């Protein structure tokens, strides 16, 4: 019984990485920008948060303040990356794909440099318990759902509410669908694009922070982060550009990822050495399958924003 | 009654790089009037109005509203000054409902409540006599419905001045009448309406005053009641223009293309062509009328081999030269029989019937090679590739909405675009650039294309010149069937007449011309027969010499509701 619960909780917790990444990417894509820099941004979000904890880890600040400052550090570092992306693609109208890829390489590299400067004892060993709820300490598995997990769910639900239930969301979606239309009705297209890209970047960054400090809670965690950035982008398509659906998608992905480490513990199941790599391959194979399945749907509402990837210039004819 | 000035433009100048789009233009608009802004393409009508709508900002000049000078630097400023513009290319988000589009970008007054907006939208629609379901998604709408959304969007924002850019370009005659009725209601309501157009009949029908622009300059503003079509054209073009389209009588009209029971489904398995049957004759212009998206594009693409057919046949008849009769294929008996049926001639226009001739005399005559017959080749295009179809002489000069979308490559120059049709020629892998260049030069000269040279990218030419390049190239390869879709869309009077003239030349040289048009007046004046498409089916083929606009308009729309509903369900 306990194995199944552990398996599920672990998958849920792992999924939070993707919830942040995908929600951030959805916000950006809804403004018409395909940000392939998300892996790099998540890396920088992780680095930013860890460096902030490194700075305050030894101080006598109260626990909740440490948590908040850590989150802020992560968010701001990732938002800066979003700002670079926005400046290049919105103001200078650089090619979005190239900019994004460059940003990923840049972010992943810079993170490795920065993380070498940080002391794992200070940023990790001390603060990591602060991100867990003390009352959830009853069982091993439930405590894994910490502050950052619930924040991820809240952010995804809030993002959906803003996008589909408010005027700001309507305007933002209009910018991504047809910037010329949005412009003609007096929406400040540039401002919306900047805001969405920066907020999206910041949110995605939290995913990296969560992965290093909470889910993995190890000093080597940052080395495996980049791949999950790519999966977050793929998950956007799975979630049909709806942030609340990323919760579902992330859980499915989480299950597939955790599957290889839990399956051997299930009574009556034996896993040969040869089967292990196959199990580890599962999430990626499913990603490809999902991409195939989702690309054959043709309902208008489930398509990417119409002007995704296109720069907007008002006086262009 | 003295009318109050609503809006004044004084000395407005706008430059795009070295191009002077508007040169010190003055314009007055009164309350409760419909002002038409008339001019050829590229004369600066839309640019001028875009400055009122806040899309462009004038380089010089002043704009006054109710006597006070204002600065309009963004679309939002324009709305704040109660000016609303309905653009030629609708600015709507396809994925949103009508109501969502209407409130888009509005400042937050109170809660975001779509239900309330739906009610308000319906109220405005009712007041001016529109029909609109506020909850319908824009991508499900017809062009006319989309226009309605645009107009209500502007009204919802409380606009007193409405600017409509070419509002009738995409509407059927019935829809145009409805639109004009709405505009008159707005005028009675005290609103100022500005319509940008280059169609004279509409100017005369609906406007109170006309402002004429030419090459960026304001030529004159006249009372509509005191002017005439000829006077307006003269002011617009700067010289007297013959406003009648020639229609030479078809000579030697022979069937060229038979389309039989053609059915076609699109990628989403929606039936786009229903049992289409018609014949196109050489030496004749066959017009195709229909509301945009009734299957015109698919039909032409099917004929040129770009669409896989569901069922049906397209048979191309290729008349061959006279061939001498031989006994190789036919027996003596058969030859005599055919002779009696008037199948043979002697090459000088006289029939050879073998009447009163003995078998040996017949044999002698036939073997001397002096008995000729016309051999026709009939080819089913269904099994041919687009390239083979082209080589047979079936040419598609398709001018879609996006002028550069099909047929020309925008970033390539004129010579290279000529080569798109001749790249297979030339020796051993090397391209022959000489002939395409000569062809480009010839087309530039014959069609008076305005371009700095043959090495200018086509994208940089104006719309009219782009179309001339495309049509010119297709004609240069001596087609037998020439299909032209919307070849004059968006062209000014002069360029349009050049294109009509080209089509007529082709017709006179025996080409079967298929002309898809949107302006019924032009279709009626230019074509010999008009085929009307409606929801992918042929609703009638009429004689253009006797048919009326109303008749065709009805054929275009008559089963619309049934077809429309069915299409949406699928």
A-chain residue closest to B77, CA distance: A186
Contacts of B84 in chain A (CB under 8 A): none
One domain, residues B256 and B198: no
Number of folded domains that form chain B? 4
- Paired sense of beta strands B5-16 and B161-165, if any: unpaired
Q: Is the pLDDT of residue B59 over 60?
A: yes
Check: CB of residue B93 under 8 Å from CB of residue A173: yes
Contacts of A178 in chain B (CB under 8 A): 91-94
Closest chain A C-alpha to B540 CA, distance in angstroms: 34
How far apart CA A234 and CA B391 sit, in angstroms, is 46
Which of B56, B91, B103 is the closest to A181 by Cβ?
Answer: B91
* pLDDT tier, B240 (very low <50, low <70, confident <90, very high otherwise): low
Tokens 């802020």, located at residue: A72
Are A184 and B85 an interchain contact pair (Cβ–Cβ within 8 Å)?
yes
pLDDT for position B566: 40
- In whole angstroms, what separates CA B47 from the centre of its chain? 22
One domain, residues B473 and B488: no
In the listed set B217, B237, B257, which residue is the last one of a domain according to the structure?
Answer: B237
Contacts of A295 in chain B (CB under 8 A): none
Which pairs with CB-CB distance under 8 Å and at least 24 residues apart come from B325-333? Answer: B325/B366, B325/B371, B325/B372, B325/B373, B326/B366, B327/B363, B327/B366, B327/B367, B332/B359, B332/B362, B332/B363
Establish if A301 touches chain B: CB-CB under 8 angstroms. Answer: yes
Contacts of B106 in chain A (CB under 8 A): 167, 185
Give the bridge partners for B20, in sequence order. Answer: B15
Instruction: Give me the interface pTM, i.e. the ipTM.
Output: 0.84
In the listed set B237, B266, B289, which residue is the last one of a domain according to the structure?
Answer: B237
Q: Is the pLDDT of residue B407 over 80?
A: no
Strands of the sheet with B512-516, listed across from one edge? B344-345, B372-380, B311-324, B255-265, B271-281, B537-543, B529-534, B284-289, B512-516, B481-485, B394-398
One domain, residues B126 and B48: yes
Of the ranges A301-310, B146-155, B254-263, B326-335, which one carries the lowest mean pLDDT score? B326-335
* pLDDT tier, B286 (very low <50, low <70, confident <90, very high otherwise): very high
* pLDDT tier, B432 (very low <50, low <70, confident <90, very high otherwise): confident
Which pairs with CB-CB distance under 8 Å and at least 24 residues apart come from B500-503? Answer: B500/B245, B500/B246, B500/B526, B501/B246, B502/B447, B502/B471, B502/B472, B502/B475, B503/B285
**Averaged pLDDT of chain B:** 81
**Averaged pLDDT of chain A:** 89
Are B103 and A170 an interchain contact pair (Cβ–Cβ within 8 Å)?
yes
Read off the pLDDT of each residue in B161-180 and give the average, rounded to a whole number: 85
How far apart CA B348 and CA A214 sit, in angstroms, is 99
Tokens 């293309």, located at residue: B257
A-chain residue closest to B94, CA distance: A177
A-chain residue closest to B86, CA distance: A184
Torsion of CA B157, B160, B161, B167, to 10 degrees: 60
Domain that holds residue B95: 5-237
Give the bridge partners for B540, in sequence order. Answer: B532
Strand extents, DSSP E, B145-236: 161-165, 192-197, 209-214, 217-223
How far apart CA B100 and CA B106 sit, in angstroms, is 10
Are A301 and B108 an interchain contact pair (Cβ–Cβ within 8 Å)?
no
One domain, residues B163 and B94: yes
DSSP B459: G
How far apart CA B56 and CA B42 sit, in angstroms, is 16
One domain, residues B79 and B175: yes
Tokens 């409606």, located at residue: B534
Contacts of B462 in chain A (CB under 8 A): none
Tell me which of A290 and A48 has the higher pLDDT: A48
In the listed set B442, B457, B477, which residue is the last one of a domain according to the structure?
Answer: B477
Give A 141-170 residues with CB within 8 A of chain B: 165-167, 170
Read off the pLDDT of each residue in B64-72 and give the average, rounded to a whole number: 90
One domain, residues B116 and B37: yes
* B318-337 residue pLDDT tens: 766 566 777 766 777 777 77
Give A 15-34 residues with CB within 8 A of chain B: none
Query: According to the 3-state scheme, what is the secondary structure of B304-356?
Result: CCCCCCCEEEEEEEEEEEEEECCCCCCCHHHHHHHHHCCCEECCCCCECCCCC
Q: Quick check: is B375 in a domain?
A: no
DSSP B460: G
Tell me which of A251 and A279 has the higher pLDDT: A251
Give A 115-134 residues with CB within 8 A of chain B: none
Q: Quick check: is B205 in a domain?
A: yes
Which residues neighbour A275 within 8 Å (Cβ) at sequence distance 6 or greater? none
pLDDT for position A36: 95
Read off the pLDDT of each residue in B63-85 and give the average, rounded to a whole number: 89
Closest chain B C-alpha to A102 CA, distance in angstroms: 28
Which of A170, A184, A306 is the closest to B75 by Cβ?
Answer: A184
Are B91 and A166 an interchain contact pair (Cβ–Cβ within 8 Å)?
no
Read off the pLDDT of each residue in A93-107 and give the average, rounded to a whole number: 95
- Burial of B477 (C-beta count, 10 Å sphere; 0-12/13-18/19+): middle
**Smallest Cα–Cα separation from B518: which of B490, B544, B542?**
B490
User: What would the DSSP string read from start to end of chain A?
Assistant: -HHHHHHHHHHHHHHHHHHHHHHHHHHHHHTT---TTHHHHHHHHHHHHHHHHHHHTTS---HHHHHHHHHHHHHHHHHHHHHHHHIIIIIS---HHHHHHHHHHHHHHHHHHHHHHS-HIIIIITGGGGGS-GGGTTSTTGGGS-HHHHHHHHHHHHHHHHHHHSHHHHHHHHHHH-HHHHHHTT--HHHHHHHHHHHHHHHHHHHHHHIIIIII-STTGGGGHHHHHHHHHHHHHHTTT-HHHHHHHHHHHHHHHHHHHHGGGSTT----TTHHHHHHHHHHHHHHHHHHHHHT---GGGSPPTTTT----TT--
One domain, residues B307 and B217: no
How far apart CA A17 and CA B531 sit, in angstroms, is 61
How far apart CA B38 and CA B276 sit, in angstroms, is 39
Q: Quick check: is B26 in a domain?
A: yes
One domain, residues B430 and B565: no
Closest chain B C-alpha to A71 CA, distance in angstroms: 31
pLDDT for position B447: 77
Q: What is the pTM of this model?
A: 0.72
B-chain residue closest to A175, CA distance: B93
pLDDT for position B402: 52
Would you list which residues of chain B are within 8 Å, Cβ to Cβ, of chain A?
A: 53-56, 74-76, 78-79, 85, 87, 91-96, 100-101, 103-106, 108, 112, 137, 139, 153, 268
B-chain residue closest to A167, CA distance: B112
Are A185 and B75 an interchain contact pair (Cβ–Cβ within 8 Å)?
yes
* pLDDT tier, A54 (very low <50, low <70, confident <90, very high otherwise): very high
Are B268 and A298 an interchain contact pair (Cβ–Cβ within 8 Å)?
yes
The CATH number of the domain where B283 resides is what?
Answer: 3.40.50.300
Residue A307 CB-half CA count within 13 A: 22
* B337-364 residue pLDDT tens: 777 777 777 767 677 777 777 878 878 8
Read off the pLDDT of each residue in B214-224 and give the average, rounded to a whole number: 88
Taking one residue from A and the other from B, the number of pairs with CB-CB distance under 8 angstroms is 72
Tokens 């006054």, located at residue: B64
pLDDT for position B425: 64
Which of A166, A185, A314 is the closest to B104 by Cβ?
Answer: A185
How far apart CA B150 and CA B141 sit, in angstroms, is 12
Most confident of the following: A148-157, A268-277, B157-166, B221-230? A148-157
Domain ranges for chain A, please list them: 2-296
One domain, residues B164 and B129: yes
Q: Quick check: is B180 in a domain?
A: yes
Read off the pLDDT of each residue in B25-50 and give the average, rounded to a whole number: 87
Check: CB of residue A178 under 8 Å from CB of residue A306: yes
Tell me which of A116 and B389 has the higher pLDDT: A116
Q: A2-296 sits in which CATH class?
A: mainly alpha
pLDDT for position A277: 83
């Amino acid at each position: 019984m306990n194995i199944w619960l552990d398996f599920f909780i672990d998958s849920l917790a792992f999924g939070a990485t993707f919830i942040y990444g995908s929600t951030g990417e959805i916000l950006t894509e809804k403004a018409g920008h395909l940000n392939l820099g998300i892996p790099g941004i998540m890396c920088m979000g992780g680095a930013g948060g860890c460096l902030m904890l490194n700075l305050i880890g030894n101080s006598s600040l109260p626990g909740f303040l440490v948590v908040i400052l850590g989150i802020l550090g992560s968010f701001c570092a990732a938002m800066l990356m979003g700002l670079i992306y926005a400046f290049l693609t919105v103001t200078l109208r650089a090619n979005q794909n190239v900019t994004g890829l460059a940003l990923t390489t840049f972010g992943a590299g810079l993170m490795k440099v920065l993380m070498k400067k940080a002391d794992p004892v200070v940023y990790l060993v001390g603060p990591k318990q602060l991100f867990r709820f003390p009352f959830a300490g009853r069982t091993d598995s439930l405590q894994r759902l910490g502050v950052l997990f619930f924040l991820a769910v809240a952010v995804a639900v809030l993002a959906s509410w803003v996008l589909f239930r408010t005027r700001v969301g309507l305007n933002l979606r209009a910018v991504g669908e047809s910037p010329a239309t949005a412009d003609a009705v007096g929406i400040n297209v540039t401002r919306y694009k900047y805001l969405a890209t920066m907020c999206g970047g910041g949110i995605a960054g939290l995913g990296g922070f969560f992965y290093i400090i909470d889910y993995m809670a190890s000093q080597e965690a940052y080395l495996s982060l980049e791949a999950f950035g790519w999966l977050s982008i793929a998950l956007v398509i799975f979630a049909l550009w709806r942030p609340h659906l990323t919760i579902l998608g992330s859980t499915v992905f989480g299950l597939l990822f955790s599957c290889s480490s839990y399956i051997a513990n299930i009574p009556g199941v034996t896993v040969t050495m040869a089967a292990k790599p196959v199990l580890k391959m599962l999430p990626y194979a499913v990603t490809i399958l999902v991409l195939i399945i989702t690309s054959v749907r043709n309902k208008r509402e489930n398509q990417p924003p119409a002007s995704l990837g296109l720069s907007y210039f008002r006086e262009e004819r | 009654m003295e009318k109050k000035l609503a809006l004044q433009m004084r000395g407005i100048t706008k430059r795009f790089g070295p191009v002077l789009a508007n040169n010190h233009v003055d314009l007055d608009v009164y309350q409760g009037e419909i002002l038409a802004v008339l001019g050829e393409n590229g004369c600066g009508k839309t640019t001028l109005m875009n400055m009122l709508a806040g899309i462009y900002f004038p380089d010089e000049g002043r704009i006054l509203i109710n006597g006070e000078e204002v600065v309009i630097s963004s679309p939002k400023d324009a709305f704040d000054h109660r000016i609303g513009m309905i653009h030629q290319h609708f600015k709507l988000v396809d994925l949103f409902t009508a109501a969502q589009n209407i409130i888009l970008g509005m400042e937050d007054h109170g809660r975001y409540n779509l239900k309330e907006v739906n009610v308000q939208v319906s109220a405005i629609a009712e007041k001016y006599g529109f029909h609109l379901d506020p909850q319908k998604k824009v991508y499900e709408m017809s062009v006319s419905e989309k226009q309605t959304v645009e107009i209500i969007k502007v009204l919802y924002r409380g606009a007193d001045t409405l600017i409509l850019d070419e509002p009738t370009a995409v509407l059927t005659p019935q829809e145009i009448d409805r639109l004009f009725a709405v505009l008159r209601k707005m005028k009675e309501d005290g609103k100022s309406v500005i319509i940008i157009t280059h169609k004279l009949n509409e100017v005369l029908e609906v406007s109170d005053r006309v402002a004429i622009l030419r090459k960026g300059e304001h030529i004159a503003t006249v009372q509509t009641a005191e002017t005439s079509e000829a006077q307006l054209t003269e002011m617009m073009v700067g010289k007297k223009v013959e406003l009648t389209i020639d229609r030479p009588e078809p000579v030697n009209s022979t069937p060229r293309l038979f389309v039989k029971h053609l059915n076609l489904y699109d990628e989403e398995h929606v039936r786009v062509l229903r049992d289409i049957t018609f014949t196109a004759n050489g030496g004749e212009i066959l017009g195709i009328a229909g509301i945009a998206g009734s299957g015109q594009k698919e039909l032409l693409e099917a004929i040129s081999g770009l669409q896989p057919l569901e069922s049906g046949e397209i048979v191309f008849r290729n008349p061959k030269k006279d061939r001498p009769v031989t006994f190789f294929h036919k027996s003596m008996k058969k030859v005599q029989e055919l002779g009696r049926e008037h199948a043979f001639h002697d090459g000088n226009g006289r029939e050879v019937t073998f009447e009163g001739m003995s078998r040996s005399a017949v044999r002698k005559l036939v073997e001397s090679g002096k008995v000729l017959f016309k051999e026709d080749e009939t080819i089913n295009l269904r099994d041919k590739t687009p390239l083979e179809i082209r080589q047979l002489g079936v040419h598609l000069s398709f001018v879609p909405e996006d002028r550069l979308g099909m047929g020309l490559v925008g970033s390539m120059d004129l010579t290279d675009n000529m080569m798109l049709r001749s790249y297979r020629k030339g020796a051993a892998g090397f391209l022959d650039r000489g002939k395409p260049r000569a062809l480009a030069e010839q087309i530039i000269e014959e069609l008076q294309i305005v371009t700095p040279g043959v090495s200018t990218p086509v994208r940089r030419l104006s719309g009219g010149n782009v179309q001339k390049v495309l049509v010119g190239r297709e004609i240069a390869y001596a087609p037998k069937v020439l299909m032209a879709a919307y070849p004059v869309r968006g062209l000014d009077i002069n360029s349009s007449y050049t294109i009509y003239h080209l089509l007529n030349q082709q017709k006179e040289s025996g080409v079967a011309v298929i002309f898809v048009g949107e302006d019924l007046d032009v279709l009626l004046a230019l074509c010999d027969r008009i085929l009307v498409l409606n929801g992918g089916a042929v609703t009638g083929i009429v004689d253009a010499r006797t048919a009326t606009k109303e008749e065709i308009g009805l054929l275009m729309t008559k089963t619309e509701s049934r077809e429309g509903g069915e299409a949406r369900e699928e």
